[in-house]
Amino acid sequence: MRDEDILNGSLIEDSWLTVEQLAAACTVEPAWLLRHLQEGLFPEAESVAGVWRFSATCLLRAQRMRRLERDFDAVPELAALVADLLEELDSLRARVGPRP
């Protein structure tokens, strides 16, 4: 089991991560995350009283985007598009249920 799987599994839905916590979980600099926020690539992120907070969904999205950018040298917009498609696939699989 990978460290990121443990982190994803233990993040409770009502819990939120800060910019620094999410950046650390994705092994990126906070500036990477802030650039992506400014470009609108984290639609589920929330700003409360000027402080960004991120859900477990944002964590998974950030990890996917980081891997796509690193492994395939993808531009952020392409990485976000692929992350969107993977999220939709996850949603469809959850609706269908487990395969035999």
Residue 27's pLDDT is what? Answer: 95
Q: Detail the DSSP E strand segments found in 1-93.
A: 46-48, 51-53
Residue 15's pLDDT is what? Answer: 84
Q: Give 86-90's long-range contacts (Cβ < 8 A, gap of 24+).
A: 87/57, 87/60, 87/61
Mean pLDDT lowest among 12-21, 43-52, 55-64, 85-94:
12-21
- SS3 assignment, position 17: strand
**How confident is residue 98, by pLDDT bands cut at 50, 70 and 90?**
confident
* pTM for this model (two decimals): 0.82
**How confident is residue 14, by pLDDT bands cut at 50, 70 and 90?**
low
Instruction: Determine contact, residues 41/84, Cβ cutoff 8 Å.
Output: no
Q: Which residues contact 46 (CB under 8 A, 6 or more apart)?
A: 16, 52, 53, 54
